Amino acid sequence: MYTVKQLSSLAGVTPRTLHHYDAIGLLKPARVGGNGYRYYAEESLLLLQQILFYRELELPLDAIKDILSRPGFNAQGALEGHRLELRKRIARLERLLGTVDETLSHLKGKKEMSPKQLFANFSGEEQSKYAAEAEKMYDPATVKASNRKWQAYSAQEKQRILDEGNQIYAELVTAMPAGPGSAQVQALVERWRTHMSYFWTPALDQLVGLADTYVDDPRFRANFDQFHPDLAGFMQQAVRIYVAGKQ
What tens digit of pLDDT does each residue of 107-119 get?
777 777 665 565 5
Segment 156-211, tens digit of pLDDT: 888 888 888 888 888 998 999 999 999 999 999 999 999 888 877 777 877 888 88
Calculate mean pLDDT across residues 130-147. 57
Q: Give the chain's radius of gyration (CA, Å).
A: 22
Give the C-alpha separation, 92 to 94, whole Å: 5
Q: Which CATH number fits domain 122-246: 1.10.490.50, 2.40.50.100, 1.20.120.720, 3.30.360.10?
A: 1.10.490.50
160-167 contacts, C-beta under 8 A, 24 or more apart:
161/124, 161/127, 161/195, 161/198, 162/119, 162/122, 162/123, 162/124, 162/127, 164/195, 165/122, 165/127, 165/195, 166/119, 166/122
Domain ranges in the chain?
2-68, 122-246
Residues 6 or more apart whose CB falls under 8 angstroms from that of 246 comprise 204
Given a cut of 50, whether residue 247 has pLDDT beyond it is yes
Average of per-residue pLDDT values in the chain: 80
> For the domain 2-68, what is the CATH code?
1.10.1660.10
